A and B are shown apart, each in its own frame.
Chain A
Amino acid sequence: MTALLETQNLSKAFGEFRALDGVRIAIAPGELVCVIGPNGAGKTTLVNLLTGLMQPTAGDVLFNGKSIAGLGPVRLAEEGLARSFQLIQIFPQLTVQETIATALVSAQKKRWRLFSSVNADREMNLRVREIAEIFRLGHRLDITAHTLAQGEKKLLDVASAFALGPQVILLDEPTSGVSTAEKRAVMDILIAAGRQAGVKGIVLVEHDMDLVATYASRIIALTGGRVLADLPAAEFFNEPNLIAAVVGKRRGH
Protein backbone atom coordinates (compact mmCIF):
# COMPACT_ATOMS: atom_id res chain seq x y z
CA MET A 1 0.00 0.00 0.00
CA THR A 2 1.59 3.28 -1.06
CA ALA A 3 1.83 5.78 1.71
CA LEU A 4 -0.53 8.69 1.63
CA LEU A 5 1.99 11.14 2.90
CA GLU A 6 5.65 10.36 3.32
CA THR A 7 8.98 12.01 3.73
CA GLN A 8 12.27 10.83 2.32
CA ASN A 9 15.32 11.73 4.29
CA LEU A 10 13.88 15.09 5.12
CA SER A 11 16.18 17.71 6.53
CA LYS A 12 15.74 21.37 7.26
CA ALA A 13 18.42 23.70 8.48
CA PHE A 14 18.06 27.33 9.45
CA GLY A 15 21.60 28.51 8.96
CA GLU A 16 23.68 26.54 11.42
CA PHE A 17 20.72 25.16 13.30
CA ARG A 18 19.46 21.82 12.08
CA ALA A 19 15.77 21.74 12.85
CA LEU A 20 15.19 18.41 11.16
CA ASP A 21 17.68 15.77 10.24
CA GLY A 22 17.06 12.81 7.99
CA VAL A 23 13.44 12.31 8.93
CA ARG A 24 11.75 9.38 7.28
CA ILE A 25 8.09 8.80 8.03
CA ALA A 26 5.09 7.45 6.16
CA ILE A 27 1.43 7.87 6.87
CA ALA A 28 -0.88 5.24 5.49
CA PRO A 29 -4.60 5.56 4.83
CA GLY A 30 -6.78 5.00 7.88
CA GLU A 31 -4.21 6.14 10.39
CA LEU A 32 -4.42 8.78 13.05
CA VAL A 33 -0.82 9.67 13.70
CA CYS A 34 0.28 11.76 16.63
CA VAL A 35 3.54 13.61 16.43
CA ILE A 36 4.91 14.21 19.87
CA GLY A 37 8.05 15.54 21.41
CA PRO A 38 9.40 18.25 23.64
CA ASN A 39 9.36 21.85 22.57
CA GLY A 40 12.01 22.61 19.98
CA ALA A 41 12.06 19.03 18.78
CA GLY A 42 11.04 20.13 15.33
CA LYS A 43 7.37 19.20 15.31
CA THR A 44 6.15 22.44 13.83
CA THR A 45 8.97 22.48 11.31
CA LEU A 46 7.99 18.99 10.26
CA VAL A 47 4.37 19.98 9.84
CA ASN A 48 5.41 23.10 7.92
CA LEU A 49 7.41 20.95 5.54
CA LEU A 50 4.67 18.36 5.27
CA THR A 51 2.24 21.08 4.29
CA GLY A 52 4.49 22.64 1.71
CA LEU A 53 5.15 25.87 3.56
CA MET A 54 8.89 25.60 3.35
CA GLN A 55 11.44 24.11 1.03
CA PRO A 56 13.43 21.34 2.64
CA THR A 57 17.19 21.74 2.80
CA ALA A 58 17.49 18.12 1.74
CA GLY A 59 15.15 15.24 1.04
CA ASP A 60 11.59 15.31 -0.18
CA VAL A 61 7.96 15.21 0.87
CA LEU A 62 5.64 13.03 -1.17
CA PHE A 63 1.89 13.09 -1.22
CA ASN A 64 0.34 10.16 -3.04
CA GLY A 65 3.72 9.61 -4.59
CA LYS A 66 3.98 13.15 -5.88
CA SER A 67 6.49 15.65 -4.55
CA ILE A 68 4.88 18.55 -2.76
CA ALA A 69 7.93 20.26 -1.31
CA GLY A 70 7.35 24.00 -1.10
CA LEU A 71 4.19 23.84 -3.17
CA GLY A 72 2.40 26.46 -1.14
CA PRO A 73 -0.87 26.33 0.78
CA VAL A 74 -3.24 27.03 -2.09
CA ARG A 75 -1.93 24.30 -4.38
CA LEU A 76 -1.78 21.89 -1.48
CA ALA A 77 -5.37 22.56 -0.56
CA GLU A 78 -6.28 21.73 -4.13
CA GLU A 79 -4.26 18.53 -4.00
CA GLY A 80 -6.13 17.41 -0.92
CA LEU A 81 -4.00 18.39 2.02
CA ALA A 82 -5.42 20.66 4.70
CA ARG A 83 -4.00 22.09 7.87
CA SER A 84 -4.93 24.07 10.93
CA PHE A 85 -2.70 26.15 13.16
CA GLN A 86 -2.10 26.50 16.83
CA LEU A 87 -3.06 30.17 16.70
CA ILE A 88 -6.67 30.51 15.80
CA GLN A 89 -7.24 31.86 12.30
CA ILE A 90 -10.68 33.09 11.35
CA PHE A 91 -12.36 35.44 8.93
CA PRO A 92 -13.53 38.04 11.45
CA GLN A 93 -16.35 39.54 9.46
CA LEU A 94 -17.71 36.43 7.83
CA THR A 95 -20.43 34.38 9.49
CA VAL A 96 -19.93 30.75 10.41
CA GLN A 97 -21.99 29.83 7.37
CA GLU A 98 -19.84 31.96 5.09
CA THR A 99 -16.58 30.68 6.53
CA ILE A 100 -17.43 27.07 5.88
CA ALA A 101 -18.93 27.99 2.52
CA THR A 102 -15.65 29.63 1.50
CA ALA A 103 -13.88 26.33 1.92
CA LEU A 104 -16.61 24.44 0.09
CA VAL A 105 -16.64 26.89 -2.79
CA SER A 106 -12.94 26.27 -3.09
CA ALA A 107 -13.22 22.51 -2.86
CA GLN A 108 -16.11 22.34 -5.31
CA LYS A 109 -14.25 24.59 -7.70
CA LYS A 110 -17.08 27.10 -7.84
CA ARG A 111 -14.75 29.95 -7.12
CA TRP A 112 -14.97 31.73 -10.44
CA ARG A 113 -18.71 31.89 -10.51
CA LEU A 114 -19.39 35.59 -10.55
CA PHE A 115 -23.09 35.62 -11.07
CA SER A 116 -24.60 32.77 -9.15
CA SER A 117 -25.77 33.39 -5.63
CA VAL A 118 -24.10 31.67 -2.71
CA ASN A 119 -27.31 31.75 -0.73
CA ALA A 120 -29.29 30.04 -3.47
CA ASP A 121 -26.96 27.05 -3.66
CA ARG A 122 -29.13 24.65 -1.65
CA GLU A 123 -26.91 21.67 -2.00
CA MET A 124 -23.90 23.54 -0.71
CA ASN A 125 -25.82 25.10 2.14
CA LEU A 126 -26.95 21.64 3.25
CA ARG A 127 -23.33 20.55 3.28
CA VAL A 128 -22.41 23.66 5.29
CA ARG A 129 -25.06 22.78 7.83
CA GLU A 130 -23.86 19.16 8.03
CA ILE A 131 -20.31 20.22 8.74
CA ALA A 132 -21.37 22.92 11.16
CA GLU A 133 -23.44 20.42 13.11
CA ILE A 134 -20.58 18.01 13.53
CA PHE A 135 -18.60 20.87 15.01
CA ARG A 136 -21.49 21.87 17.24
CA LEU A 137 -21.89 25.14 15.38
CA GLY A 138 -25.13 24.24 13.65
CA HIS A 139 -27.10 26.73 15.70
CA ARG A 140 -24.51 29.47 15.19
CA LEU A 141 -24.50 29.62 11.42
CA ASP A 142 -25.50 33.27 11.18
CA ILE A 143 -23.14 34.52 13.83
CA THR A 144 -20.21 36.67 12.74
CA ALA A 145 -16.95 34.90 13.42
CA HIS A 146 -15.24 37.50 15.58
CA THR A 147 -18.12 37.44 18.07
CA LEU A 148 -17.81 33.72 18.69
CA ALA A 149 -16.43 32.35 21.93
CA GLN A 150 -12.81 31.30 21.87
CA GLY A 151 -13.58 27.58 21.78
CA GLU A 152 -16.11 28.05 18.99
CA LYS A 153 -13.55 29.98 16.98
CA LYS A 154 -11.15 27.09 17.33
CA LEU A 155 -13.79 24.65 16.13
CA LEU A 156 -14.67 26.93 13.22
CA ASP A 157 -11.03 27.15 12.25
CA VAL A 158 -10.72 23.39 12.17
CA ALA A 159 -14.13 23.03 10.53
CA SER A 160 -13.03 25.07 7.56
CA ALA A 161 -10.05 22.76 7.09
CA PHE A 162 -12.31 19.71 7.13
CA ALA A 163 -14.75 21.42 4.78
CA LEU A 164 -12.12 21.22 2.07
CA GLY A 165 -12.72 17.49 1.98
CA PRO A 166 -9.02 16.75 2.11
CA GLN A 167 -7.44 13.34 1.97
CA VAL A 168 -5.04 14.19 4.73
CA ILE A 169 -5.45 16.77 7.43
CA LEU A 170 -2.73 18.04 9.71
CA LEU A 171 -3.74 19.64 12.95
CA ASP A 172 -1.29 21.58 15.05
CA GLU A 173 -2.36 21.21 18.69
CA PRO A 174 -6.09 21.33 18.01
CA THR A 175 -6.96 21.04 21.68
CA SER A 176 -4.67 23.75 22.95
CA GLY A 177 -6.61 26.39 24.82
CA VAL A 178 -9.47 23.95 25.31
CA SER A 179 -10.34 23.04 28.89
CA THR A 180 -9.31 19.53 29.97
CA ALA A 181 -12.91 18.48 30.36
CA GLU A 182 -13.62 19.43 26.78
CA LYS A 183 -10.56 17.93 25.13
CA ARG A 184 -12.02 14.50 24.57
CA ALA A 185 -15.20 16.00 23.18
CA VAL A 186 -13.13 17.96 20.69
CA MET A 187 -11.18 14.87 19.67
CA ASP A 188 -14.41 12.94 19.14
CA ILE A 189 -15.65 15.78 16.97
CA LEU A 190 -12.48 15.72 14.92
CA ILE A 191 -12.72 12.00 14.31
CA ALA A 192 -16.41 12.20 13.41
CA ALA A 193 -15.67 15.09 11.07
CA GLY A 194 -12.86 13.18 9.47
CA ARG A 195 -15.09 10.21 8.83
CA GLN A 196 -17.85 12.39 7.44
CA ALA A 197 -15.54 14.35 5.16
CA GLY A 198 -13.91 11.21 3.86
CA VAL A 199 -10.54 12.08 5.31
CA LYS A 200 -8.11 9.21 4.88
CA GLY A 201 -5.41 10.23 7.30
CA ILE A 202 -5.12 12.56 10.25
CA VAL A 203 -1.85 13.85 11.63
CA LEU A 204 -1.91 15.54 14.99
CA VAL A 205 0.74 17.43 16.83
CA GLU A 206 -0.20 16.96 20.41
CA HIS A 207 1.22 17.41 23.89
CA ASP A 208 -1.48 15.79 25.94
CA MET A 209 -0.38 12.17 26.40
CA ASP A 210 -3.80 11.10 27.64
CA LEU A 211 -5.32 12.06 24.34
CA VAL A 212 -2.47 10.50 22.45
CA ALA A 213 -2.93 7.27 24.32
CA THR A 214 -6.65 7.21 23.64
CA TYR A 215 -6.81 8.21 20.01
CA ALA A 216 -3.55 7.62 18.20
CA SER A 217 -3.17 4.61 15.98
CA ARG A 218 0.50 5.43 15.56
CA ILE A 219 2.95 7.68 17.33
CA ILE A 220 5.95 9.47 15.94
CA ALA A 221 8.23 10.88 18.58
CA LEU A 222 10.67 13.56 17.65
CA THR A 223 13.59 14.85 19.63
CA GLY A 224 16.29 17.22 18.48
CA GLY A 225 15.11 17.07 14.90
CA ARG A 226 15.35 13.32 14.63
CA VAL A 227 12.79 10.55 14.80
CA LEU A 228 13.22 8.83 18.12
CA ALA A 229 10.42 6.36 17.61
CA ASP A 230 7.83 5.55 14.98
CA LEU A 231 5.58 2.87 16.40
CA PRO A 232 1.97 1.76 16.63
CA ALA A 233 0.48 3.26 19.79
CA ALA A 234 0.22 0.01 21.69
CA GLU A 235 3.89 -0.75 21.21
CA PHE A 236 4.89 2.77 22.13
CA PHE A 237 3.14 2.70 25.45
CA ASN A 238 4.74 -0.60 26.37
CA GLU A 239 8.11 1.11 26.43
CA PRO A 240 8.33 3.20 29.59
CA ASN A 241 11.83 4.36 28.67
CA LEU A 242 10.54 5.72 25.44
CA ILE A 243 7.77 7.56 27.15
CA ALA A 244 10.19 9.00 29.65
CA ALA A 245 12.52 10.17 26.91
CA VAL A 246 9.75 12.05 25.24
CA VAL A 247 7.67 13.26 28.13
CA GLY A 248 10.46 13.64 30.63
CA LYS A 249 9.01 11.70 33.51
CA ARG A 250 7.60 8.29 34.25
CA ARG A 251 3.90 8.05 33.91
CA GLY A 252 2.17 6.68 36.91
CA HIS A 253 -0.57 4.69 35.22
Chain B
Amino acid sequence: MSAFANVLLGGIFHAAVLFLVAAGLQLVFGVQKIINLACGSFYALGAYFGVTFIGWATQLGLSPWLIFPGLILAGVVLGVIGPPIERMLRTVYGRDESFQLLLTFALVLMFQDVFRFFWGANPRSLDNAYLIYGAITAADLGVPVYNLLVIAAAIAVAAGLGALLQQTNFGRILRATAENRAMAEALGVDVRRIYMVVFTLGAALGTTAGALVVPTAAASLDMAIEFVVEAFAVVVIGGLGSMRGALVGALIVGLIRACAIVFYPEFEVLAIYCIVIAVLLLRPAGIFGRALA
Protein backbone atom coordinates (compact mmCIF):
# COMPACT_ATOMS: atom_id res chain seq x y z
CA MET B 1 0.00 0.00 0.00
CA SER B 2 2.70 2.42 0.96
CA ALA B 3 4.73 1.40 -2.06
CA PHE B 4 1.74 2.33 -4.13
CA ALA B 5 1.45 5.67 -2.38
CA ASN B 6 5.13 6.31 -3.01
CA VAL B 7 4.71 5.54 -6.65
CA LEU B 8 1.65 7.76 -6.75
CA LEU B 9 3.64 10.65 -5.36
CA GLY B 10 6.31 9.93 -7.93
CA GLY B 11 3.59 10.20 -10.52
CA ILE B 12 2.49 13.55 -9.16
CA PHE B 13 6.07 14.78 -9.23
CA HIS B 14 6.33 13.75 -12.87
CA ALA B 15 2.99 15.42 -13.48
CA ALA B 16 4.30 18.64 -11.94
CA VAL B 17 7.20 18.73 -14.37
CA LEU B 18 4.95 17.79 -17.27
CA PHE B 19 2.55 20.55 -16.33
CA LEU B 20 5.24 23.21 -16.52
CA VAL B 21 6.21 22.21 -20.04
CA ALA B 22 2.62 21.66 -21.13
CA ALA B 23 1.61 25.06 -19.77
CA GLY B 24 4.26 26.61 -21.97
CA LEU B 25 3.03 24.62 -24.96
CA GLN B 26 -0.57 25.63 -24.32
CA LEU B 27 0.31 29.31 -24.03
CA VAL B 28 2.20 29.26 -27.27
CA PHE B 29 -0.45 27.26 -29.07
CA GLY B 30 -3.33 29.15 -27.60
CA VAL B 31 -2.01 32.57 -28.55
CA GLN B 32 0.15 31.91 -31.57
CA LYS B 33 -1.38 28.69 -32.89
CA ILE B 34 2.08 27.16 -33.19
CA ILE B 35 2.87 23.61 -32.18
CA ASN B 36 6.39 23.61 -30.90
CA LEU B 37 8.12 20.30 -31.51
CA ALA B 38 11.22 21.79 -29.91
CA CYS B 39 9.60 21.95 -26.47
CA GLY B 40 11.50 18.81 -25.55
CA SER B 41 14.69 20.53 -26.60
CA PHE B 42 13.95 23.47 -24.32
CA TYR B 43 13.34 20.98 -21.55
CA ALA B 44 16.65 19.24 -22.18
CA LEU B 45 18.44 22.57 -22.43
CA GLY B 46 17.14 23.48 -19.01
CA ALA B 47 18.33 20.18 -17.64
CA TYR B 48 21.83 20.42 -19.09
CA PHE B 49 22.24 24.04 -18.10
CA GLY B 50 20.92 23.25 -14.65
CA VAL B 51 23.72 20.79 -14.13
CA THR B 52 26.32 23.26 -15.32
CA PHE B 53 24.90 26.17 -13.39
CA ILE B 54 24.80 24.32 -10.11
CA GLY B 55 28.27 23.04 -10.82
CA TRP B 56 29.58 26.59 -11.20
CA ALA B 57 27.60 27.88 -8.29
CA THR B 58 28.83 25.16 -5.99
CA GLN B 59 32.40 25.92 -7.00
CA LEU B 60 31.77 29.55 -6.20
CA GLY B 61 30.65 28.52 -2.78
CA LEU B 62 26.91 28.18 -3.13
CA SER B 63 25.36 26.34 -0.28
CA PRO B 64 23.86 23.03 -1.38
CA TRP B 65 20.63 24.11 0.29
CA LEU B 66 20.11 26.66 -2.41
CA ILE B 67 19.93 24.11 -5.22
CA PHE B 68 16.20 24.50 -5.56
CA PRO B 69 16.10 28.26 -6.10
CA GLY B 70 19.34 28.00 -8.03
CA LEU B 71 17.79 25.65 -10.54
CA ILE B 72 14.75 27.83 -10.87
CA LEU B 73 17.02 30.76 -11.61
CA ALA B 74 18.95 28.74 -14.17
CA GLY B 75 15.75 27.75 -15.92
CA VAL B 76 14.30 31.23 -15.96
CA VAL B 77 17.52 32.76 -17.22
CA LEU B 78 17.44 30.42 -20.18
CA GLY B 79 14.21 32.05 -21.24
CA VAL B 80 16.53 34.37 -23.11
CA ILE B 81 16.52 31.89 -26.01
CA GLY B 82 12.88 32.78 -26.52
CA PRO B 83 13.14 36.02 -28.51
CA PRO B 84 15.66 34.89 -31.14
CA ILE B 85 13.81 31.66 -31.78
CA GLU B 86 10.48 33.45 -31.95
CA ARG B 87 12.04 35.84 -34.43
CA MET B 88 12.91 32.87 -36.58
CA LEU B 89 9.45 31.36 -36.28
CA ARG B 90 7.93 34.67 -37.22
CA THR B 91 8.95 34.06 -40.80
CA VAL B 92 6.46 31.23 -41.17
CA TYR B 93 3.50 32.54 -39.20
CA GLY B 94 1.14 33.10 -42.06
CA ARG B 95 1.96 29.86 -43.76
CA ASP B 96 0.58 26.38 -43.72
CA GLU B 97 0.99 24.69 -40.35
CA SER B 98 3.18 22.00 -41.94
CA PHE B 99 5.89 24.60 -42.32
CA GLN B 100 5.65 25.60 -38.70
CA LEU B 101 5.96 21.99 -37.61
CA LEU B 102 8.95 21.51 -39.89
CA LEU B 103 10.73 24.60 -38.66
CA THR B 104 10.39 23.51 -35.06
CA PHE B 105 11.59 20.07 -36.16
CA ALA B 106 14.66 21.72 -37.67
CA LEU B 107 15.23 23.26 -34.26
CA VAL B 108 15.07 19.83 -32.66
CA LEU B 109 17.82 18.60 -34.97
CA MET B 110 19.96 21.62 -34.34
CA PHE B 111 19.56 21.47 -30.61
CA GLN B 112 20.68 17.85 -30.52
CA ASP B 113 24.10 18.89 -31.70
CA VAL B 114 24.15 21.96 -29.50
CA PHE B 115 23.84 19.61 -26.54
CA ARG B 116 26.48 17.36 -27.99
CA PHE B 117 28.80 20.32 -28.47
CA PHE B 118 28.51 21.81 -25.02
CA TRP B 119 27.90 18.76 -22.90
CA GLY B 120 29.04 15.74 -24.86
CA ALA B 121 27.16 12.59 -25.67
CA ASN B 122 26.99 11.17 -22.16
CA PRO B 123 24.24 11.92 -19.69
CA ARG B 124 25.01 14.55 -17.07
CA SER B 125 23.59 14.57 -13.61
CA LEU B 126 23.79 16.20 -10.25
CA ASP B 127 24.34 12.91 -8.49
CA ASN B 128 21.28 12.89 -6.34
CA ALA B 129 22.12 16.31 -4.99
CA TYR B 130 18.47 16.77 -4.19
CA LEU B 131 18.83 14.42 -1.28
CA ILE B 132 20.23 17.30 0.70
CA TYR B 133 16.70 18.32 1.36
CA GLY B 134 16.09 15.03 3.00
CA ALA B 135 12.93 13.07 2.85
CA ILE B 136 9.70 13.00 4.73
CA THR B 137 8.99 9.63 6.17
CA ALA B 138 5.67 8.88 7.72
CA ALA B 139 4.46 5.33 8.19
CA ASP B 140 6.39 3.60 5.39
CA LEU B 141 5.90 6.55 3.14
CA GLY B 142 9.17 8.11 2.05
CA VAL B 143 9.04 11.06 -0.23
CA PRO B 144 12.00 13.35 -0.94
CA VAL B 145 11.33 16.87 0.21
CA TYR B 146 12.74 18.07 -3.09
CA ASN B 147 9.91 16.43 -4.94
CA LEU B 148 7.42 18.21 -2.72
CA LEU B 149 9.18 21.50 -3.40
CA VAL B 150 8.85 20.96 -7.13
CA ILE B 151 5.20 20.03 -6.81
CA ALA B 152 4.68 23.18 -4.75
CA ALA B 153 6.46 25.22 -7.41
CA ALA B 154 4.25 23.77 -10.12
CA ILE B 155 1.15 24.59 -8.12
CA ALA B 156 2.45 28.12 -7.60
CA VAL B 157 3.07 28.50 -11.31
CA ALA B 158 -0.39 27.17 -12.09
CA ALA B 159 -1.95 29.64 -9.69
CA GLY B 160 0.24 32.43 -11.00
CA LEU B 161 -0.60 31.72 -14.60
CA GLY B 162 -4.24 31.47 -13.75
CA ALA B 163 -4.14 34.84 -12.02
CA LEU B 164 -2.16 36.35 -14.85
CA LEU B 165 -4.59 35.17 -17.46
CA GLN B 166 -7.82 35.88 -15.64
CA GLN B 167 -7.11 38.93 -13.53
CA THR B 168 -4.51 41.10 -15.16
CA ASN B 169 -4.82 43.40 -18.14
CA PHE B 170 -2.00 41.60 -19.79
CA GLY B 171 -3.82 38.35 -19.36
CA ARG B 172 -6.90 39.82 -20.91
CA ILE B 173 -4.91 41.01 -23.86
CA LEU B 174 -3.40 37.53 -24.22
CA ARG B 175 -6.78 35.90 -24.20
CA ALA B 176 -8.14 38.40 -26.67
CA THR B 177 -5.27 37.83 -29.05
CA ALA B 178 -5.73 34.09 -28.71
CA GLU B 179 -9.41 34.43 -29.46
CA ASN B 180 -9.09 36.70 -32.46
CA ARG B 181 -5.80 38.10 -33.58
CA ALA B 182 -7.15 40.42 -36.24
CA MET B 183 -9.59 41.97 -33.85
CA ALA B 184 -6.93 42.46 -31.22
CA GLU B 185 -4.69 44.15 -33.73
CA ALA B 186 -7.51 46.39 -34.82
CA LEU B 187 -7.95 47.37 -31.18
CA GLY B 188 -4.35 48.49 -31.00
CA VAL B 189 -2.68 45.47 -29.49
CA ASP B 190 0.96 45.10 -30.46
CA VAL B 191 0.58 41.51 -31.49
CA ARG B 192 4.22 41.08 -32.37
CA ARG B 193 5.31 41.99 -28.89
CA ILE B 194 2.69 39.74 -27.37
CA TYR B 195 3.90 36.85 -29.48
CA MET B 196 7.44 37.44 -28.35
CA VAL B 197 6.50 37.64 -24.71
CA VAL B 198 4.29 34.56 -24.88
CA PHE B 199 6.89 32.50 -26.65
CA THR B 200 9.57 33.55 -24.20
CA LEU B 201 7.31 32.69 -21.31
CA GLY B 202 6.62 29.30 -22.84
CA ALA B 203 10.31 28.69 -23.40
CA ALA B 204 11.16 29.69 -19.84
CA LEU B 205 8.53 27.31 -18.47
CA GLY B 206 10.07 24.51 -20.49
CA THR B 207 13.64 25.24 -19.50
CA THR B 208 12.71 25.65 -15.85
CA ALA B 209 10.94 22.31 -15.87
CA GLY B 210 14.06 20.70 -17.26
CA ALA B 211 16.27 22.40 -14.69
CA LEU B 212 14.03 21.30 -11.85
CA VAL B 213 14.00 17.69 -12.94
CA VAL B 214 17.71 17.28 -13.26
CA PRO B 215 18.51 16.45 -9.63
CA THR B 216 16.34 13.39 -9.89
CA ALA B 217 17.10 12.38 -13.45
CA ALA B 218 20.09 12.81 -15.70
CA ALA B 219 20.18 15.23 -18.59
CA SER B 220 20.61 13.22 -21.75
CA LEU B 221 20.38 13.53 -25.51
CA ASP B 222 17.36 11.28 -25.67
CA MET B 223 15.50 13.50 -23.25
CA ALA B 224 14.64 16.08 -25.87
CA ILE B 225 12.99 13.75 -28.31
CA GLU B 226 11.40 11.42 -25.81
CA PHE B 227 9.77 14.17 -23.86
CA VAL B 228 7.99 15.65 -26.85
CA VAL B 229 5.67 12.71 -27.14
CA GLU B 230 4.65 12.83 -23.49
CA ALA B 231 4.19 16.59 -23.57
CA PHE B 232 1.92 16.22 -26.56
CA ALA B 233 -0.02 13.47 -24.87
CA VAL B 234 -0.71 15.90 -22.04
CA VAL B 235 -1.78 18.65 -24.38
CA VAL B 236 -4.01 16.40 -26.45
CA ILE B 237 -5.70 14.81 -23.47
CA GLY B 238 -6.17 18.08 -21.70
CA GLY B 239 -7.24 19.97 -24.75
CA LEU B 240 -5.18 22.18 -27.03
CA GLY B 241 -4.84 25.70 -25.75
CA SER B 242 -6.31 25.13 -22.32
CA MET B 243 -4.41 25.79 -19.09
CA ARG B 244 -6.75 23.67 -17.03
CA GLY B 245 -6.20 21.06 -19.68
CA ALA B 246 -2.46 21.22 -19.11
CA LEU B 247 -3.00 20.65 -15.39
CA VAL B 248 -5.49 17.83 -15.70
CA GLY B 249 -3.70 16.26 -18.64
CA ALA B 250 -0.40 16.32 -16.80
CA LEU B 251 -1.97 14.64 -13.78
CA ILE B 252 -3.57 11.97 -15.92
CA VAL B 253 -0.40 11.19 -17.83
CA GLY B 254 1.80 11.33 -14.74
CA LEU B 255 -0.46 9.05 -12.76
CA ILE B 256 -1.00 6.58 -15.57
CA ARG B 257 2.72 6.27 -15.99
CA ALA B 258 3.14 5.72 -12.30
CA CYS B 259 0.44 3.08 -12.15
CA ALA B 260 1.63 1.36 -15.27
CA ILE B 261 5.16 1.08 -13.94
CA VAL B 262 3.80 -0.71 -10.93
CA PHE B 263 1.24 -2.93 -12.55
CA TYR B 264 2.07 -3.43 -16.22
CA PRO B 265 5.57 -2.24 -17.09
CA GLU B 266 5.29 -3.32 -20.74
CA PHE B 267 2.22 -1.24 -21.14
CA GLU B 268 3.61 1.89 -19.57
CA VAL B 269 4.06 3.96 -22.68
CA LEU B 270 1.63 1.94 -24.75
CA ALA B 271 -1.14 2.92 -22.36
CA ILE B 272 -0.44 6.60 -22.85
CA TYR B 273 -0.40 6.37 -26.64
CA CYS B 274 -3.60 4.38 -26.64
CA ILE B 275 -5.27 7.06 -24.58
CA VAL B 276 -3.94 9.80 -26.87
CA ILE B 277 -5.32 7.99 -29.89
CA ALA B 278 -8.62 7.40 -28.16
CA VAL B 279 -8.92 11.07 -27.21
CA LEU B 280 -8.00 12.24 -30.70
CA LEU B 281 -10.62 9.98 -32.18
CA LEU B 282 -13.46 10.40 -29.75
CA ARG B 283 -13.03 13.90 -28.46
CA PRO B 284 -10.35 15.70 -30.43
CA ALA B 285 -10.85 18.82 -28.38
CA GLY B 286 -9.59 17.02 -25.31
CA ILE B 287 -11.14 17.49 -21.92
CA PHE B 288 -11.09 21.26 -21.79
CA GLY B 289 -10.30 22.32 -25.29
CA ARG B 290 -12.61 23.97 -27.70
CA ALA B 291 -13.11 22.03 -30.90
CA LEU B 292 -10.89 23.41 -33.59
CA ALA B 293 -12.32 23.82 -37.04
A and B touching (Cβ–Cβ under 8 A): no
- Chain B interface residues toward A at CB < 8 A: none
